[in-house]
């Protein structure tokens, strides 16, 4: 008999996939030996796969049998105990059941927990096995659960799906069985090992795909001319030009990266529960970050040529950011939404990546050069242009940040929280957050530059003569009579404050103002003090020019103080007072404002020199009325004809009225009120002590003369108040006692002087002083 032939079966017995495979293979293969070798190799691989599956199935069955044997033994024990209980209940009734039932229930619950633990462990082990199998397959290109023609992207998607299933199971276990920490930790450890392989491999594949797309686009045709002038170049966007399978492959790869990142966020959220999760969970979008990194490296080759022209660096970054931003909105954002990656905007991530790359370059290559030059200047004492370059660079950063904020606003998404980390990522000026020593240098340079510009203005005498209406700068109707130099100082201070507003940290803004803004107020105050001391030293404030020089300084201090107080009511400054870092740094009291120290010093300066003005006028008034005070006989004589006031008192009153009018004209209204009230108090004390409490005897004619003098004195102050006698309490009460009749004074002695003085409304004169005035009153029959 002939041996059976190895012929193929009829073609209608073959499956369509096999027919297709044979047609494709036979058409490409010219040598049958090669085909046989390939088929033998595939059969060998399949046999090895089958052996591995059998081994894994055997291990699983053994594990299951062990668990099932333990569980079966537990149930057999429970069955025996139930039979014992049933037998005992027939003998001893229900008492035994009442005692053993809680123990039995506890044992049943323990067994149920063991069963659930075993099932959960087996389920998680299966998930982790699938994950490890999928991850290893992405490296070798072979996966048992997919056909041999499956690509690496499908393999990665299967791995991500397995990871999601495992994460869901872990989240459920963490929530329902928080005591199973060892099980969760063991699974997390194995999953972390798988992710440590999967993520780098996914990113590596993504980078390879980007290279095949032509990313980053060539920047070699960019020149300093078209970059600086904003001209459009021929740089094409590969994200818009890709088509067909290449576009589909990129989208799938981008989506896989987003899914992987979202999975990682869920894992971190579960693992960091109870901690500050927002800080740890916030990461750049991986797929967009892979777009930013290569293009930023390409830009740095241009930056090295423009190190002396930082404006070109900012122009190039802004141009690239703006030119490629449409692809983020139109192509990539839908993929992020599809991956359900919450809280991410491709536009913001793209802008953030470009801004961060710029900030890192400035921090590594530009600012260290400037800092080194500043150190050299400080050592040699020879100034250079580095301060100008520093301020120019800061100007470019602030202008660039404004443009970036405009790009973000075009998306319709506004950053609600000012000090949020998002704002820091989208601002080049946030470079100072990591380098507070550079912030201090910046503040010192700002102060030095601003003060150098103010020196000529403060030294020019014309800046101290004109007046500035307070109502034009500060809410209210008071006229501060402030010289223009004060407005110049406040305007410069306002510019310094505006410069630090883009800083994303409250404590940094406060520190900048303390170092760069507050010294301006202190220098201005020192200049005011110098002018006042100069006027006092030359003429002791005796002439009008010196008086006006002091009043101008007081007006400037008052206006500056008022503006600072109004600024401190703004939210921008109030939040600095509420910032704990700022308070601990300067040792300030709770809810203090940043200009508290300067406001207090301005107020102390103003009060000191207002008091000196009052003292100078009182000294002059005292010198001119000494003859009037010393002439005690005049109170026993009749009034001089055609005179309503004593001749010796006219000069003093004329001096008082002249100086007070001059102060009214040159001093601001608020401080003038303080001055004239202080003058009234001083004159009241001077006249009462020098006239009423002297040993002079007052006849009726002398009382009339004194009444006339006092009325003229009151008239000097009547221009600024309706009842000037209220500001001369001692003179008014002494005059009241002098007008008291003989019988009334006698009644006071009989009824009790203290009681009588209270009935007469005497409050500011003591009993001894009142007795002396009454004693000096002479009644002529």
- Whether residue 368 is predicted with pLDDT greater than 50 in this model: the reply is yes
What gap in Å lies between CA 576 and CA 18, rounded to an integer? 77
pLDDT at position 69 is 66
- Cβ atoms of 422 and 344 closer than 8 Å: no
pTM: 0.75
Distances (CA, A) of 23 to 27, 39, 46: 6, 15, 22
Whose tokens are 């009034």? That residue is: 639
Q: How many CB atoms lie within 10 A of CB 231?
A: 11
Sequence ranges of the domains in the chain: 32-211, 214-434, 448-611, 625-775
Both tokens of 647, joined, read: 């001749």
Residue positions counted in the chain = 781
The single-letter DSSP state of residue 234 is S
For residue 258, with 0-12 CB atoms within 10 Å meaning exposed, 13-18 middle and 19 or more buried, which class applies?
A: buried
pLDDT at position 514 is 94
Domain 625-775 listed as CATH 1.20.58: yes
| Residue 147 pLDDT class (50, 70, 90 cuts) | very low
For residues 756-775, give the mean pLDDT: 84
The single-letter DSSP state of residue 3 is P
What gap in Å lies between CA 413 and CA 423, rounded to an integer? 13
The answer to which of 221-230, 449-458, 749-758 has the lowest mean pLDDT is 221-230
pLDDT at position 29 is 55
What gap in Å lies between CA 152 and CA 706, rounded to an integer? 114
Percent of the chain with pLDDT strictly greater than 90: 34
User: Quick one: which H or E segment has residue 669?
Assistant: helix 669-687
The single-letter DSSP state of residue 429 is G
What gap in Å lies between CA 455 and CA 439, rounded to an integer? 24
- Cβ atoms of 503 and 430 closer than 8 Å: yes
SS (H, E, C) 602-645: HHHHHHHHHHHHHHHHHHHHHHHCHHHHHCCHHHHCCCCCCCCC
Q: Between 622 and 85, whose confidence is greater?
A: 622
For residues 383-405, give the mean pLDDT: 91
Helix axes 346-361, 310-323, angle to 10 degrees: 160
| Per-residue b or e along 373-400, where b marks 16 or more CB atoms closer than 10 Å to that residue's CB | bbeeeeeeeeeeebbebbbebbebbbeb
- Cβ atoms of 706 and 593 closer than 8 Å: no
Question: Over the Cα atoms of the chain, what is R_g?
Answer: 47
Residue-wise pLDDT tens digits, 177-208: 888 888 888 888 888 888 888 888 889 889 99
Residue of 541, 749, 528 whose CA lies nearest to 662: 541
pLDDT at position 476 is 36
Q: How many CB atoms lie within 10 A of CB 97?
A: 14
∠304-309-315 over CA atoms, to 5°?
A: 90
pLDDT at position 216 is 86
pLDDT at position 269 is 83
- Whether residue 584 is predicted with pLDDT greater than 80 in this model: the reply is no
CATH number assigned to the domain covering 448-611? 1.10.357
């Amino acid at each position: 008999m002939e041996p059976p032939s190895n012929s193929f079966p009829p073609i209608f017995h073959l499956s369509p996939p096999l027919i297709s495979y044979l047609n494709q293979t036979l058409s490409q293969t010219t040598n049958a030996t090669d085909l046989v070798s390939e088929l033998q190799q595939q059969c060998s691989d399949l046999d090895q796969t089958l052996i591995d599956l059998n081994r894994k199935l055997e291990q699983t069955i053994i594990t299951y049998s062990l668990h099932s044997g333990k569980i079966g033994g537990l149930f057999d024990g429970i069955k025996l105990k139930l039979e014992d209980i049933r037998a005992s209940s027939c003998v001893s009734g229900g008492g035994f059941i009442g005692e053993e039932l809680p123990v039995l229930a506890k044992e049943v619950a323990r067994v149920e927990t063991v069963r659930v633990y075993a099932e959960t462990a087996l389920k998680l082990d299966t998930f982790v096995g699938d994950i490890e199998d999928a991850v290893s397959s992405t490296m070798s290109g072979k996966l048992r659960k997919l056909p041999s023609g499956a690509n690496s992207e499908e393999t990665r998607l299967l791995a991500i799906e397995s990871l999601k299933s495992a994460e869901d199971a872990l989240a459920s276990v963490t929530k329902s069985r928080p005591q199973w920490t060892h099980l969760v930790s063991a699974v997390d450890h194995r999953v972390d090992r798988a992710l440590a392989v999967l993520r780098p491999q996914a990113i590596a594949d993504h980078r390879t795909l980007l290279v095949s797309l032509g990313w980053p686009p060539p920047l070699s045709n960019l020149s300093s001319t078209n970059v600086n002038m904003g001209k459009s170049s021929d740089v094409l966007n590969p994200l818009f030009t890709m088509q067909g399978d290449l576009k589909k492959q990129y989208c799938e790869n981008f989506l896989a990266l987003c899914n992987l990142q979202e999975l990682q966020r869920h894992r971190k959220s579960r693992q960091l529960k109870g901690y500050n999760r927002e800080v740890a969970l916030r990461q750049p979008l991986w797929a967009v970050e892979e777009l930013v990194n290569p293009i930023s490296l390409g830009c740095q080759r241009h930056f090295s040529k423009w190190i002396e022209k930082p404006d070109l660096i900012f122009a190039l970054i802004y141009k690239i950011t703006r030119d490629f931003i449409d692809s983020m909105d139109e192509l990539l954002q839908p993929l992020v939404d599809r991956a359900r990656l919450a809280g991410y905007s491709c536009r913001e991530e793209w802008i953030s990546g470009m801004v961060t790359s710029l900030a890192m370059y400035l921090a590594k290559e530009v600012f260290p050069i400037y800092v080194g030059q500043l150190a050299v200047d400080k050592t040699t004492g020879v100034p250079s242009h580095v301060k100008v370059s520093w301020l120019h660079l800061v100007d470019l950063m602030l202008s660039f940040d404004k443009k970036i904020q405009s790009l973000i606003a075009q998306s319709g998404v506004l950053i609600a929280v000012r000090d949020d980390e998002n704002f820091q990522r989208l601002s080049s000026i946030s470079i100072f957050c990591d380098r507070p020593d550079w912030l201090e240098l910046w503040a010192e340079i700002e102060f030095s530059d601003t003060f150098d510009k103010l020196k000529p203005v403060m030294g020019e005498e014309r800046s101290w003569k004109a007046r500035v209406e307070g109502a034009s700068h500060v809410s209210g109707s008071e006229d501060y009579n402030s010289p223009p130099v004060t407005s110049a100082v406040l305007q410069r201070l306002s510019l310094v404050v505006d410069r630090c507003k883009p800083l994303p940290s409250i404590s940094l803004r406060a520190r900048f103002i303390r170092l760069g803004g507050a010294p301006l107020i202190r220098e201005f105050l020192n200049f005011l003090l110098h002018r006042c001391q100069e006027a006092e030293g030359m003429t002791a404030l005796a002439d009008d020019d010196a008086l006006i020089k002091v009043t101008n300084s007081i007006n400037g201090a008052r206006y500056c103080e008022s503006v600072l107080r109004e600024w401190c009511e703004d939210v921008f400054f109030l939040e600095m007072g509420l910032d704990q870092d700022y308070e601990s740094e300067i040792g300030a009291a709770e809810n203090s404002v940043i200009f508290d120290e300067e406001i207090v010093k301005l107020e102390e300066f103003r009060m000191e020199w207002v008091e000196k003005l009052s003292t100078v006028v009182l000294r002059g008034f005292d010198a001119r009325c000494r003859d009037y005070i010393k002439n005690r006989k005049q109170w026993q004589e009749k009034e001089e004809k055609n005179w309503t006031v004593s001749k010796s008192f006219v000069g003093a009153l004329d001096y008082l009225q002249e100086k007070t009018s001059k102060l009214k004209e040159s001093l601001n209204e608020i401080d003038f009120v303080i001055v004239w009230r202080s003058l009234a108090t001083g004159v009241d004390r001077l006249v009462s002590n020098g006239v009423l409490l002297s040993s002079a005897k007052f006849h009726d004619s002398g009382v009339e003369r004194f009444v006339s003098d006092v009325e003229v004195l009151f008239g000097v102050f009547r221009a600024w108040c309706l009842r000037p006698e209220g500001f001369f309490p001692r003179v008014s009460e002494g005059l009241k006692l002098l007008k008291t009749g003989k019988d009334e004074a006698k009644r006071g002695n009989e009824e009790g002087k203290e009681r009588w003085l209270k009935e007469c409304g005497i409050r500011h004169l003591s009993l001894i002083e009142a007795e002396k005035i009454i004693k000096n009153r002479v009644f002529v029959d």
